[in-house]
Chains A and B, each alone.
Chain A
Amino acid sequence: MKKLRITVDGKVFEVVVESLDEQGNPSANQPAVPAFQQTSIAPPPSSAPKPAAAAAAPAGPGTVTSPLAGRVVSIDCQLGQKVASGAQLATVEAMKMNTFVYAERDGTVAEIHVSPADVVEEGQVLVTLS
């Protein structure tokens, strides 16, 4: 976009000019921001009983579980720490890659169930938020 001042018959006009290509589209240095939005959705709650996890800690509200089987690299939060949704709580290594585990909601770290180097299963509770 360029702002220009044009004088016609002594009258002053201020105009904004956008350069278009031959097809009338905005030129390439001004990429159009797609107005289109996609919707993401969360899975519905399940009424089926959860399969018993390997660890003693049962899954429930506020529990943060490992998304896959692997080895705990680090616990990235501390007991009593207040965390916001999206905060990184732990790192699990599997398949030659670190997988970060995030808080799904705001809360306070009430319990930490595993330690670095522990082997965890998919769905095993790592941290409980209150």
Chain B
Amino acid sequence: MAIKKELIEELEARREKVLAGGGKDKLEARRKKGLMTARDRLDNLFQAGTFMEFGMHAEHACHNFGMEKKELPADGVVAGTGYVGDRPVAAYSEDFTVAGGSLGSMHAQKICGIMDYAQQSGMPVVCFNDSGGARIQEGVESLSGYGKVFFKNVYLSGVVPQIAVIAGPCAGGAAYSPALTDFQVMVKDQANMFITGPEVIFAATGQKCTMAEVGSAAAHATISGNIHFVADNDAHAITIVQKLLSFIPSNNIMDPPHDLNQPLVLDEDPGMDELVPEDSKNPINAKDVIGRLVDNADFLEVQMDFAKNIVVGFGRIQGIVVGIIANQSAVKAGAIDIDASDKAARFIRFCNIFNIPIVTLVDTGGFLPGVAQERGGIIRHGAKMLFAYGAATVPKITVILRKAYGGAYLAMCSQDLGADLVFAWPTAEIAVMGAEGAVKILYKREIDKDPACADKLIADYRAKFASPYQAAGKGLITDVIRPSQTRAMVAMALRNTLSKRETRPPKKHGNIPL
């Protein structure tokens, strides 16, 4: 007695057909072009042999335009779970060799199914977008499919991390699904993403433009800020996803993967002292400071080419996963502008959702002045940052390296915005405004009478107010520390604050100024 041989053979025959996607020749052609197939991507993401497929035998639901005679293996999307490191992760990967990866109702149903499972099981979702768009033959059902996927993206947001890899075309409404996820990785040269491409833009407005300008990884990474990481190719995109997953928890009720099995080391780091330039007007490269602060200089920078005047990303400090937000005084004087505010606010909110402590490094002269900034809504955008910090209940540790002026001082997670601990270097300048501006207001009459006295007044003001001790004297900072003590103090502060509990009045959600 054993199972009938024919049944096994039929299963294997069906499997083989589905595994071939749009045909073995098409798969080979992709590989020759240096592209991974939909299944290659999942095989590379997951540990060997751990992929569990969902809906392999799905059939498409279209009965018009001769589609009823066509077979579309797996309906153009491969979905399932597998292991990344020691954790299960859900993923789906669109198969461009099957009807151009177009989204039909079954394709959408499979995506929604794996997302439901991920939400219930508390596991991250990774998706590979590589699709020509809606399956026109399915008409409004295809459109409805997109709507359902978007709804799931929103439903899962804040429950499990969602990471989208844009690995091929991602056009029109389809672009809103990755846009609703937490992080977008885009593979340069082989991917593009846009709501309206150059042809539609020209037809509708007469404006001429190139795909590189509106839809490329370069455009989205540097100008629009739509994506978070650029990958050289499919394999690199997958390593970025794996690296990102190594810093974040599987869901919002778990802690991130801290490594607390190491003893706290309180050694000083003299190299940090050496980073501080003698002239307080000369910039410090924030990435050098971060490199000395995090374990093994291992820092995953998020949006590295967008709003470079602020640096955000993940690292570990003596084993504890942190999200770091740092003003980059080497770019645009570290001034906070519209893009920098948006970038930081979104990152802070991600950290808060997923229980990742926040470390803020302050070195900014203020919000960037200018007509374009004011008319562009720096008040509204800058307020996002204040809102995000104020609303975050994770441990918040702030180090004021040097400049911390006015509203920007408050915006960079000051004690008043809810920082648990604030350290300042002796080089910190914590003041309501710069010496020149303050003296002009405070001593207007004296300077009008005798312009020569201005220099001395400015020097006096700077000596008295451009220091950490005014703020320290008012109890606004925890302690003044040497730069060389920073890593030790922040590490200890994080350990001490890790068990922080903070509850707020129940509400649906605050009204962040979007």
Q: Are B298 and A34 in contact (CB under 8 A)?
A: yes
Q: Are A39 and B231 in contact (CB under 8 A)?
A: yes
Minimum distance in angstroms from B364 CB to a CB of chain A = 8
Q: Are B218 and A44 in contact (CB under 8 A)?
A: yes
Q: Are B434 and A44 in contact (CB under 8 A)?
A: no
Interface 9-mer from A11-19, A52-60, A93-101, A110-118: A93-101
Q: How many residues on the B side are at the interface (Cβ–Cβ under 8 A)?
A: 53
Chain A residues in contact with chain B, CB under 8 A? 23, 28, 31-34, 36-48, 67-70, 93-100, 122
Q: Which residues of the other chain, A, contact B297 by a CB distance below 8 angstroms?
A: 31, 34
Contact of B296 among A23, A31, A69 (CB under 8 A): A31
A-B contact pairs, 28 of them (CB 8 A): A28-B265, A31-B295, A34-B296, A36-B243, A38-B300, A38-B304, A39-B229, A40-B230, A41-B230, A41-B305, A42-B218, A42-B222, A42-B305, A43-B219, A43-B305, A44-B216, A46-B213, A47-B208, A47-B209, A68-B333, A68-B368, A69-B370, A95-B333, A95-B365, A96-B333, A96-B405, A98-B281, A99-B331
Q: Are B334 and A95 in contact (CB under 8 A)?
A: yes
What number of residue pairs across chains A and B have CB atoms under 8 A from each other? Answer: 110
Q: Are B282 and A41 in contact (CB under 8 A)?
A: no
Q: Give the CA-CA distance A47 to B208 in the complex, in Å.
A: 8
Contact of B335 among A23, A37, A68 (CB under 8 A): A68
B283 on interface, CB distance cutoff 8 Å: yes
CB-based nearest B residue for A36: B243
Contact of A98 among B213, B216, B282, B335 (CB under 8 A): B282
B210 on interface, CB distance cutoff 8 Å: yes
B212 on interface, CB distance cutoff 8 Å: yes
Q: Give the CA-CA distance A41 to B282 in the complex, in Å.
A: 26
Q: Are A45 and B243 in contact (CB under 8 A)?
A: no
Contact of B281 among A39, A41, A93 (CB under 8 A): A93
Q: Are B218 and A97 in contact (CB under 8 A)?
A: no
Q: Which residues of the other chain, B, contact A31 by a CB distance below 8 angstroms?
A: 295-297
B366 on interface, CB distance cutoff 8 Å: yes
Q: Are A39 and B218 in contact (CB under 8 A)?
A: no
Minimum distance in angstroms from B411 CB to a CB of chain A = 14
Q: Give the CA-CA distance A68 to B243 in the complex, in Å.
A: 34
Scan residues 274-320 of chain B and give those whose CB is less than 8 A from a CB of chain A. 279, 281-283, 295-298, 300-301, 304-305
Q: Give the CA-CA distance A69 to B365 in the complex, in Å.
A: 14
CB-based nearest B residue for A37: B236
B496 on interface, CB distance cutoff 8 Å: no
Q: Are A41 and B217 in contact (CB under 8 A)?
A: yes
Contact of A97 among B216, B304, B329 (CB under 8 A): B329
Q: Which residues of the other chain, A, contact B334 by a CB distance below 8 angstroms?
A: 95, 97
Q: Which residues of the other chain, A, contact B219 by a CB distance below 8 angstroms?
A: 43-44
Q: Give the CA-CA distance A23 to B209 in the complex, in Å.
A: 55
Q: Which residues of the other chain, A, contact B208 by a CB distance below 8 angstroms?
A: 47
Q: Give the CA-CA distance A44 to B188 in the complex, in Å.
A: 12
Minimum distance in angstroms from B508 CB to a CB of chain A = 37
Q: Give the CA-CA distance A38 to B287 in the complex, in Å.
A: 14
Q: Give the CA-CA distance A43 to B369 in the complex, in Å.
A: 24
Q: Which residues of the other chain, B, contact A96 by a CB distance below 8 angstroms?
A: 281, 333, 365, 403, 405, 429, 434
Q: Which residues of the other chain, B, contact A97 by a CB distance below 8 angstroms?
A: 281-283, 329, 333-334, 365, 403
Q: Are B298 and A39 in contact (CB under 8 A)?
A: no
A-B contact sample (10 more), CB < 8 A, given A41-B305, A43-B305, A95-B366? A39-B232, A41-B222, A42-B305, A45-B213, A48-B209, A68-B368, A95-B368, A96-B281, A96-B403, A96-B434
Q: Which residues of the other chain, B, contact A42 by a CB distance below 8 angstroms?
A: 218, 222, 305
CB-based nearest A residue for B433: A96
Q: Give the CA-CA distance A36 to B230 in the complex, in Å.
A: 13
Q: Are A41 and B218 in contact (CB under 8 A)?
A: yes
Q: Give the CA-CA distance A70 to B405 in the complex, in Å.
A: 18
B223 on interface, CB distance cutoff 8 Å: yes
Q: Which residues of the other chain, B, contact A28 by a CB distance below 8 angstroms?
A: 262, 265
Minimum distance in angstroms from A117 CB to a CB of chain B = 15
Q: Give the CA-CA distance A19 to B319 in the complex, in Å.
A: 20
CB-based nearest A residue for B437: A96
Minimum distance in angstroms from B488 CB to a CB of chain A = 14
Q: Give the CA-CA distance A43 to B223 in the complex, in Å.
A: 7
Q: Which residues of the other chain, A, contact B403 by a CB distance below 8 angstroms?
A: 96-97
CB-based nearest A residue for B209: A47
CB-based nearest B residue for A95: B365
Q: Give the CA-CA distance A20 to B402 in the complex, in Å.
A: 39
Q: Are B261 and A23 in contact (CB under 8 A)?
A: yes
Q: Are A36 and B239 in contact (CB under 8 A)?
A: yes
